[in-house]
Structure 1
Protein backbone atom coordinates (compact mmCIF):
# COMPACT_ATOMS: atom_id res chain seq x y z
CA UNK A 1 0.00 0.00 0.00
CA UNK A 2 1.35 3.41 -0.99
CA UNK A 3 1.34 5.79 1.96
CA UNK A 4 1.06 9.50 1.19
CA UNK A 5 1.76 12.14 3.84
CA UNK A 6 0.51 15.69 3.14
CA UNK A 7 2.81 18.23 4.80
CA UNK A 8 1.90 21.88 4.94
CA UNK A 9 0.74 25.05 6.61
CA UNK A 10 -2.69 26.68 6.91
CA UNK A 11 -3.41 26.04 3.22
CA UNK A 12 -3.08 22.32 3.87
CA UNK A 13 -4.59 21.82 7.32
CA UNK A 14 -7.70 23.83 6.44
CA UNK A 15 -10.46 25.01 8.76
CA UNK A 16 -13.99 23.86 9.72
CA UNK A 17 -16.42 23.43 6.86
CA UNK A 18 -13.76 22.92 4.20
CA UNK A 19 -12.99 19.82 2.17
CA UNK A 20 -9.23 20.70 1.85
CA UNK A 21 -7.03 19.92 -1.15
CA UNK A 22 -6.08 16.72 0.66
CA UNK A 23 -9.64 15.47 0.23
CA UNK A 24 -9.75 16.56 -3.42
CA UNK A 25 -6.55 14.65 -4.17
CA UNK A 26 -7.78 11.57 -2.34
CA UNK A 27 -11.01 11.59 -4.36
CA UNK A 28 -9.02 11.90 -7.56
CA UNK A 29 -6.66 9.07 -6.67
CA UNK A 30 -9.59 6.84 -5.80
CA UNK A 31 -10.64 6.97 -9.44
CA UNK A 32 -7.24 7.19 -11.14
CA UNK A 33 -4.83 5.02 -9.13
CA UNK A 34 -5.45 1.29 -9.33
CA UNK A 35 -3.36 0.19 -6.36
CA UNK A 36 -4.02 0.38 -2.61
CA UNK A 37 -3.09 3.70 -0.99
CA UNK A 38 -3.87 5.83 2.02
CA UNK A 39 -2.95 9.13 3.66
CA UNK A 40 -0.87 8.98 6.85
CA UNK A 41 0.49 11.35 9.47
CA UNK A 42 0.34 12.24 13.15
CA UNK A 43 -2.54 14.73 12.87
CA UNK A 44 -6.14 14.64 11.63
CA UNK A 45 -7.74 17.89 12.70
CA UNK A 46 -8.61 21.17 11.05
CA UNK A 47 -7.66 24.52 12.57
CA UNK A 48 -10.52 26.10 14.51
CA UNK A 49 -10.05 29.86 14.15
CA UNK A 50 -12.44 30.67 16.99
CA UNK A 51 -10.62 28.36 19.38
CA UNK A 52 -7.22 29.37 18.00
CA UNK A 53 -6.17 25.74 17.94
CA UNK A 54 -6.24 22.65 15.66
CA UNK A 55 -9.16 21.03 17.44
CA UNK A 56 -11.88 20.58 14.79
CA UNK A 57 -12.92 17.52 12.82
CA UNK A 58 -15.75 19.38 11.06
CA UNK A 59 -14.71 18.57 7.50
CA UNK A 60 -17.25 19.24 4.76
CA UNK A 61 -16.90 15.51 4.07
CA UNK A 62 -15.06 13.63 6.84
CA UNK A 63 -15.21 10.26 5.06
CA UNK A 64 -11.62 10.06 3.86
CA UNK A 65 -8.18 9.30 5.37
CA UNK A 66 -7.69 12.63 7.15
CA UNK A 67 -4.17 12.02 8.48
CA UNK A 68 -1.58 14.67 7.71
CA UNK A 69 1.36 16.66 9.05
CA UNK A 70 0.15 20.24 8.64
CA UNK A 71 -0.21 23.17 10.98
CA UNK A 72 -1.60 26.68 10.92
CA UNK A 73 1.38 29.03 11.11
CA UNK A 74 3.94 26.26 10.56
CA UNK A 75 6.56 26.19 7.82
CA UNK A 76 9.75 24.49 6.69
CA UNK A 77 11.41 25.73 9.88
CA UNK A 78 8.89 23.85 11.99
CA UNK A 79 8.54 20.72 9.88
CA UNK A 80 12.22 20.00 9.28
CA UNK A 81 12.78 18.77 12.87
CA UNK A 82 9.53 16.75 12.81
CA UNK A 83 9.64 15.03 9.45
CA UNK A 84 12.04 12.22 10.30
CA UNK A 85 9.97 10.97 13.20
CA UNK A 86 6.74 11.32 11.25
CA UNK A 87 8.09 9.42 8.25
CA UNK A 88 9.46 6.71 10.50
CA UNK A 89 6.41 6.34 12.72
CA UNK A 90 3.85 6.39 9.91
CA UNK A 91 5.97 4.64 7.28
CA UNK A 92 5.39 7.34 4.67
CA UNK A 93 6.33 6.54 1.08
CA UNK A 94 5.42 9.86 -0.58
CA UNK A 95 5.52 13.35 0.94
CA UNK A 96 3.23 15.97 -0.62
CA UNK A 97 4.66 19.25 0.62
CA UNK A 98 3.22 22.77 0.45
CA UNK A 99 5.26 25.06 2.69
CA UNK A 100 7.16 28.33 2.67
CA UNK A 101 4.73 31.24 2.74
CA UNK A 102 4.66 31.45 6.52
CA UNK A 103 8.45 31.11 6.74
CA UNK A 104 9.03 34.05 4.44
CA UNK A 105 6.30 36.08 6.05
CA UNK A 106 7.37 35.71 9.67
CA UNK A 107 10.41 33.56 10.37
CA UNK A 108 13.20 33.24 7.82
CA UNK A 109 14.47 34.83 4.62
CA UNK A 110 14.63 32.99 1.30
CA UNK A 111 18.14 31.61 1.83
CA UNK A 112 17.40 30.42 5.36
CA UNK A 113 14.15 28.84 4.21
CA UNK A 114 15.96 27.00 1.41
CA UNK A 115 18.40 25.70 4.02
CA UNK A 116 15.46 24.30 5.96
CA UNK A 117 14.23 22.58 2.80
CA UNK A 118 17.53 20.74 2.56
CA UNK A 119 17.37 19.81 6.26
CA UNK A 120 13.82 18.53 5.73
CA UNK A 121 14.89 16.32 2.82
CA UNK A 122 17.82 14.95 4.81
CA UNK A 123 15.60 14.18 7.79
CA UNK A 124 13.01 12.41 5.64
CA UNK A 125 15.67 10.30 3.94
CA UNK A 126 17.29 9.35 7.21
CA UNK A 127 13.96 7.82 8.22
CA UNK A 128 13.22 6.27 4.82
CA UNK A 129 16.05 6.24 2.25
CA UNK A 130 13.51 5.55 -0.52
CA UNK A 131 10.95 8.22 0.33
CA UNK A 132 9.61 10.26 -2.58
CA UNK A 133 8.91 13.98 -2.18
CA UNK A 134 6.74 16.30 -4.27
CA UNK A 135 7.38 19.94 -3.36
CA UNK A 136 5.03 22.77 -4.33
CA UNK A 137 6.53 26.26 -4.77
CA UNK A 138 5.13 29.11 -2.70
CA UNK A 139 1.99 30.58 -4.26
CA UNK A 140 2.26 34.37 -3.86
CA UNK A 141 -0.62 35.66 -1.75
CA UNK A 142 -2.36 39.02 -1.38
CA UNK A 143 0.54 40.42 0.62
CA UNK A 144 2.86 39.95 -2.33
CA UNK A 145 0.72 42.30 -4.42
CA UNK A 146 1.41 45.25 -2.13
CA UNK A 147 4.72 44.34 -0.46
CA UNK A 148 7.45 44.34 -3.10
CA UNK A 149 10.26 43.12 -0.79
CA UNK A 150 8.08 40.21 0.31
CA UNK A 151 7.20 39.39 -3.30
CA UNK A 152 10.91 39.43 -4.15
CA UNK A 153 11.62 37.00 -1.31
CA UNK A 154 8.90 34.66 -2.60
CA UNK A 155 10.40 34.74 -6.09
CA UNK A 156 13.91 34.18 -4.75
CA UNK A 157 12.83 31.30 -2.57
CA UNK A 158 11.05 29.60 -5.46
CA UNK A 159 14.25 29.88 -7.49
CA UNK A 160 16.25 28.41 -4.60
CA UNK A 161 13.68 25.66 -4.17
CA UNK A 162 14.08 24.69 -7.82
CA UNK A 163 17.85 24.59 -7.35
CA UNK A 164 17.52 22.47 -4.20
CA UNK A 165 15.29 20.01 -6.04
CA UNK A 166 17.81 19.76 -8.88
CA UNK A 167 20.65 19.24 -6.41
CA UNK A 168 18.86 16.73 -4.18
CA UNK A 169 16.92 14.62 -6.67
CA UNK A 170 18.18 11.04 -6.93
CA UNK A 171 16.79 7.86 -8.40
CA UNK A 172 16.48 6.03 -5.10
CA UNK A 173 14.64 8.92 -3.42
CA UNK A 174 13.28 11.29 -6.09
CA UNK A 175 12.45 14.89 -5.31
CA UNK A 176 9.91 16.45 -7.63
CA UNK A 177 9.24 20.16 -8.14
CA UNK A 178 5.49 20.48 -8.63
CA UNK A 179 4.56 23.15 -11.19
CA UNK A 180 2.49 26.01 -9.74
CA UNK A 181 -1.25 25.28 -9.95
CA UNK A 182 -2.38 26.12 -13.47
CA UNK A 183 -4.71 29.09 -13.65
CA UNK A 184 -4.52 29.79 -9.91
CA UNK A 185 -5.84 33.28 -9.14
CA UNK A 186 -5.81 34.48 -5.54
CA UNK A 187 -8.84 36.65 -6.26
CA UNK A 188 -11.03 33.72 -7.36
CA UNK A 189 -9.30 30.63 -5.91
CA UNK A 190 -8.98 31.83 -2.29
CA UNK A 191 -11.46 33.19 0.23
CA UNK A 192 -9.10 35.77 1.71
CA UNK A 193 -6.21 36.23 -0.69
CA UNK A 194 -4.23 33.35 0.82
CA UNK A 195 -6.28 30.28 1.76
CA UNK A 196 -7.86 28.16 -0.98
CA UNK A 197 -11.60 28.03 -1.51
CA UNK A 198 -13.25 25.14 -3.34
CA UNK A 199 -11.74 25.97 -6.74
CA UNK A 200 -8.35 26.59 -5.12
CA UNK A 201 -8.47 23.20 -3.42
CA UNK A 202 -9.08 21.56 -6.79
CA UNK A 203 -6.24 23.47 -8.45
CA UNK A 204 -3.70 22.53 -5.77
CA UNK A 205 -4.80 18.89 -5.91
CA UNK A 206 -4.56 19.06 -9.70
CA UNK A 207 -0.97 20.32 -9.49
CA UNK A 208 0.14 17.43 -7.27
CA UNK A 209 -1.81 14.85 -9.27
CA UNK A 210 -0.46 15.98 -12.62
CA UNK A 211 3.13 16.12 -11.42
CA UNK A 212 3.02 12.64 -9.87
CA UNK A 213 1.31 11.15 -12.90
CA UNK A 214 3.84 12.60 -15.34
CA UNK A 215 7.00 12.01 -13.31
CA UNK A 216 6.24 8.80 -11.45
CA UNK A 217 3.27 7.21 -13.20
CA UNK A 218 1.19 7.50 -10.03
CA UNK A 219 -2.44 7.92 -10.99
CA UNK A 220 -3.46 10.11 -13.91
CA UNK A 221 -3.80 13.78 -14.67
CA UNK A 222 -6.70 15.48 -12.91
CA UNK A 223 -9.98 14.71 -14.63
CA UNK A 224 -11.03 17.36 -17.12
CA UNK A 225 -14.05 19.28 -15.90
CA UNK A 226 -13.32 18.68 -12.22
CA UNK A 227 -12.59 22.36 -11.59
Structure 2
Protein backbone atom coordinates (compact mmCIF):
# COMPACT_ATOMS: atom_id res chain seq x y z
CA UNK A 1 0.00 0.00 0.00
CA UNK A 2 1.21 3.46 -0.81
CA UNK A 3 1.87 5.61 2.25
CA UNK A 4 2.21 9.26 1.28
CA UNK A 5 3.94 11.76 3.56
CA UNK A 6 3.65 15.48 2.72
CA UNK A 7 6.82 17.32 3.80
CA UNK A 8 7.10 21.07 3.77
CA UNK A 9 7.18 24.50 5.33
CA UNK A 10 4.43 27.02 6.05
CA UNK A 11 2.92 26.54 2.60
CA UNK A 12 2.36 22.87 3.47
CA UNK A 13 1.33 22.94 7.11
CA UNK A 14 -1.13 25.76 6.43
CA UNK A 15 -2.86 27.80 9.11
CA UNK A 16 -6.16 27.69 10.98
CA UNK A 17 -9.22 27.88 8.75
CA UNK A 18 -7.52 26.59 5.58
CA UNK A 19 -8.01 23.42 3.56
CA UNK A 20 -4.28 23.10 2.61
CA UNK A 21 -2.88 21.56 -0.56
CA UNK A 22 -2.58 18.34 1.43
CA UNK A 23 -6.36 18.16 1.56
CA UNK A 24 -6.62 18.80 -2.19
CA UNK A 25 -4.04 16.06 -2.83
CA UNK A 26 -5.93 13.58 -0.68
CA UNK A 27 -9.17 14.37 -2.52
CA UNK A 28 -7.45 13.72 -5.85
CA UNK A 29 -5.95 10.42 -4.72
CA UNK A 30 -9.23 9.32 -3.19
CA UNK A 31 -11.05 9.98 -6.45
CA UNK A 32 -8.47 8.76 -8.97
CA UNK A 33 -5.84 6.43 -7.54
CA UNK A 34 -7.93 3.28 -7.56
CA UNK A 35 -6.10 1.40 -4.87
CA UNK A 36 -5.43 1.48 -1.14
CA UNK A 37 -3.31 4.33 0.16
CA UNK A 38 -2.72 6.23 3.36
CA UNK A 39 -1.50 9.70 4.28
CA UNK A 40 1.05 9.48 7.08
CA UNK A 41 3.31 11.67 9.15
CA UNK A 42 4.26 12.43 12.75
CA UNK A 43 2.25 15.69 12.89
CA UNK A 44 -1.40 16.56 12.27
CA UNK A 45 -1.96 20.18 13.21
CA UNK A 46 -2.17 23.50 11.44
CA UNK A 47 -0.26 26.61 12.46
CA UNK A 48 -2.20 28.91 14.77
CA UNK A 49 -1.25 32.48 13.88
CA UNK A 50 -2.79 33.81 17.08
CA UNK A 51 -0.36 31.85 19.25
CA UNK A 52 2.39 31.41 16.63
CA UNK A 53 2.39 27.67 17.35
CA UNK A 54 1.38 24.48 15.48
CA UNK A 55 -1.57 23.78 17.74
CA UNK A 56 -4.69 24.23 15.61
CA UNK A 57 -7.02 21.49 14.37
CA UNK A 58 -9.36 24.00 12.74
CA UNK A 59 -9.19 22.72 9.17
CA UNK A 60 -11.77 24.12 6.77
CA UNK A 61 -12.81 20.50 6.32
CA UNK A 62 -11.40 18.33 9.12
CA UNK A 63 -12.73 15.09 7.64
CA UNK A 64 -9.53 13.92 5.97
CA UNK A 65 -6.25 12.24 6.99
CA UNK A 66 -4.25 15.30 8.03
CA UNK A 67 -0.93 13.65 8.91
CA UNK A 68 2.21 15.37 7.64
CA UNK A 69 5.76 16.46 8.40
CA UNK A 70 5.57 20.21 7.91
CA UNK A 71 6.25 23.28 9.98
CA UNK A 72 6.01 27.05 9.86
CA UNK A 73 9.55 28.34 9.33
CA UNK A 74 11.06 24.90 8.69
CA UNK A 75 13.05 24.02 5.58
CA UNK A 76 15.50 21.46 4.20
CA UNK A 77 17.85 22.49 7.02
CA UNK A 78 15.31 21.46 9.65
CA UNK A 79 13.75 18.46 7.95
CA UNK A 80 16.95 16.64 6.96
CA UNK A 81 17.62 15.57 10.58
CA UNK A 82 13.97 14.56 11.09
CA UNK A 83 13.08 12.70 7.92
CA UNK A 84 14.77 9.38 8.70
CA UNK A 85 12.87 8.82 11.93
CA UNK A 86 9.62 10.02 10.34
CA UNK A 87 9.97 7.61 7.43
CA UNK A 88 10.79 4.72 9.76
CA UNK A 89 8.07 5.26 12.33
CA UNK A 90 5.33 6.13 9.81
CA UNK A 91 6.50 3.57 7.23
CA UNK A 92 6.27 6.19 4.50
CA UNK A 93 7.12 5.07 0.99
CA UNK A 94 6.21 8.19 -1.03
CA UNK A 95 7.37 11.65 0.04
CA UNK A 96 5.74 14.76 -1.43
CA UNK A 97 8.28 17.48 -0.67
CA UNK A 98 7.88 21.26 -0.94
CA UNK A 99 10.82 22.98 0.77
CA UNK A 100 13.42 25.66 0.15
CA UNK A 101 11.74 29.05 0.30
CA UNK A 102 12.33 29.51 4.03
CA UNK A 103 15.90 28.22 3.74
CA UNK A 104 16.82 30.77 1.10
CA UNK A 105 14.92 33.51 2.85
CA UNK A 106 16.50 33.13 6.28
CA UNK A 107 19.05 30.35 6.72
CA UNK A 108 21.19 29.16 3.81
CA UNK A 109 22.28 30.12 0.31
CA UNK A 110 21.42 28.09 -2.77
CA UNK A 111 24.47 25.83 -2.60
CA UNK A 112 24.05 25.11 1.11
CA UNK A 113 20.35 24.44 0.62
CA UNK A 114 21.11 21.98 -2.16
CA UNK A 115 23.52 20.12 0.15
CA UNK A 116 20.80 19.91 2.77
CA UNK A 117 18.48 18.46 0.14
CA UNK A 118 21.09 15.78 -0.58
CA UNK A 119 21.33 15.02 3.14
CA UNK A 120 17.54 14.76 3.34
CA UNK A 121 17.41 12.28 0.46
CA UNK A 122 20.21 10.18 1.95
CA UNK A 123 18.49 10.04 5.35
CA UNK A 124 15.14 9.09 3.83
CA UNK A 125 16.77 6.29 1.87
CA UNK A 126 18.65 5.03 4.89
CA UNK A 127 15.29 4.62 6.60
CA UNK A 128 13.62 3.08 3.53
CA UNK A 129 15.89 2.15 0.61
CA UNK A 130 12.88 1.98 -1.72
CA UNK A 131 11.28 5.28 -0.80
CA UNK A 132 9.99 7.40 -3.69
CA UNK A 133 10.19 11.18 -3.60
CA UNK A 134 8.45 13.87 -5.59
CA UNK A 135 10.10 17.26 -5.10
CA UNK A 136 8.58 20.63 -5.99
CA UNK A 137 10.93 23.49 -6.91
CA UNK A 138 10.71 26.69 -4.89
CA UNK A 139 7.73 28.74 -6.00
CA UNK A 140 8.44 32.43 -6.37
CA UNK A 141 6.84 34.71 -3.82
CA UNK A 142 6.42 38.45 -3.37
CA UNK A 143 9.98 38.88 -2.09
CA UNK A 144 11.41 38.21 -5.54
CA UNK A 145 9.97 41.55 -6.69
CA UNK A 146 11.63 43.43 -3.85
CA UNK A 147 14.97 41.62 -3.48
CA UNK A 148 16.95 40.84 -6.62
CA UNK A 149 19.55 38.85 -4.69
CA UNK A 150 16.85 36.63 -3.23
CA UNK A 151 15.29 36.18 -6.67
CA UNK A 152 18.67 35.08 -8.02
CA UNK A 153 19.08 32.62 -5.15
CA UNK A 154 15.68 31.08 -5.89
CA UNK A 155 16.60 30.65 -9.55
CA UNK A 156 19.99 29.21 -8.67
CA UNK A 157 18.62 26.79 -6.10
CA UNK A 158 16.00 25.46 -8.50
CA UNK A 159 18.79 24.77 -11.00
CA UNK A 160 20.80 22.98 -8.33
CA UNK A 161 17.75 21.04 -7.13
CA UNK A 162 17.19 19.74 -10.66
CA UNK A 163 20.81 18.55 -10.68
CA UNK A 164 20.41 16.88 -7.27
CA UNK A 165 17.38 14.97 -8.53
CA UNK A 166 19.14 13.98 -11.76
CA UNK A 167 22.29 12.90 -9.91
CA UNK A 168 20.55 10.88 -7.21
CA UNK A 169 17.63 9.34 -9.08
CA UNK A 170 17.80 5.56 -9.14
CA UNK A 171 15.37 2.79 -10.14
CA UNK A 172 15.12 1.35 -6.65
CA UNK A 173 14.29 4.74 -5.10
CA UNK A 174 12.97 7.07 -7.81
CA UNK A 175 13.32 10.84 -7.48
CA UNK A 176 10.88 12.96 -9.42
CA UNK A 177 11.11 16.71 -9.94
CA UNK A 178 7.63 18.15 -10.29
CA UNK A 179 7.14 21.02 -12.71
CA UNK A 180 6.11 24.31 -11.10
CA UNK A 181 2.46 25.01 -11.92
CA UNK A 182 2.56 26.96 -15.17
CA UNK A 183 -0.19 29.34 -14.19
CA UNK A 184 0.91 29.81 -10.55
CA UNK A 185 1.02 33.54 -9.77
CA UNK A 186 1.68 34.73 -6.24
CA UNK A 187 -0.43 37.83 -6.88
CA UNK A 188 -3.44 35.60 -7.56
CA UNK A 189 -2.79 32.24 -5.91
CA UNK A 190 -1.72 33.41 -2.44
CA UNK A 191 -3.43 35.49 0.22
CA UNK A 192 -0.28 37.35 1.31
CA UNK A 193 2.26 36.96 -1.48
CA UNK A 194 3.54 33.63 -0.15
CA UNK A 195 0.92 31.31 1.33
CA UNK A 196 -1.54 29.63 -1.02
CA UNK A 197 -5.21 30.46 -1.11
CA UNK A 198 -7.71 27.94 -2.51
CA UNK A 199 -6.52 28.30 -6.11
CA UNK A 200 -2.91 28.04 -4.99
CA UNK A 201 -3.66 24.90 -2.99
CA UNK A 202 -5.16 23.28 -6.06
CA UNK A 203 -2.22 24.26 -8.25
CA UNK A 204 0.36 22.87 -5.82
CA UNK A 205 -1.59 19.62 -5.49
CA UNK A 206 -1.88 19.51 -9.27
CA UNK A 207 1.90 19.82 -9.67
CA UNK A 208 2.47 16.73 -7.52
CA UNK A 209 -0.43 14.82 -9.05
CA UNK A 210 0.58 15.49 -12.65
CA UNK A 211 4.19 14.50 -11.96
CA UNK A 212 3.13 11.12 -10.55
CA UNK A 213 0.57 10.54 -13.28
CA UNK A 214 2.96 11.33 -16.11
CA UNK A 215 5.98 9.50 -14.69
CA UNK A 216 4.40 6.57 -12.87
CA UNK A 217 0.87 6.34 -14.23
CA UNK A 218 -0.70 6.92 -10.82
CA UNK A 219 -4.17 8.43 -10.73
CA UNK A 220 -5.43 10.65 -13.52
CA UNK A 221 -5.07 14.20 -14.73
CA UNK A 222 -5.86 16.62 -11.93
CA UNK A 223 -9.25 18.31 -11.90
CA UNK A 224 -9.55 21.15 -9.44
CA UNK A 225 -13.34 21.32 -9.28
CA UNK A 226 -14.90 24.33 -7.64
CA UNK A 227 -14.61 26.01 -4.23
User: Which TM class, normalised by the smaller chain length?
Assistant: over 0.9
Q: Displacement, 1:182? A: 2.3
Q: Secondary structure at the match of 2:167?
A: helix
CA distance in 2, matches of 1:97, 1:121: 11
Runs of 4+ in structure 1 displaced over 3 angstroms?
A: 224-227
Q: How many residues matched?
A: 227
Please show how residues 215-226 of structure 1 align to structure 2 within 5 Å: 215-223=215-223
Please show how residues 41-190 of structure 1 align to structure 2 within 5 Å: 41-190=41-190
Please show how residues 188-203 of structure 1 align to structure 2 within 5 Å: 188-203=188-203
**What RMSD, in angstroms, separates the aligned Cα atoms of the two structures?**
1.0
For normalisation by structure 1, the TM-score amounts to 0.98
Q: Displacement, 1:226? A: 5.5
Distance 1:120 1:31, change over 3 A: same
CA distance in 2, matches of 1:166, 1:221: 24
For normalisation by structure 2, the TM-score amounts to 0.98
Structure 2 unaligned regions, length at least 5:
none
Distance 1:63 1:167, change over 3 A: same
Q: Secondary structure at the match of 1:140?
A: coil
Deviations 1:2-27 (A, max 9, x none): 10000000000000110000000100
CA distance in 2, matches of 1:165, 1:139: 17
Q: Displacement, 1:218? A: 1.4
Structure 1 unaligned regions, length at least 5:
none
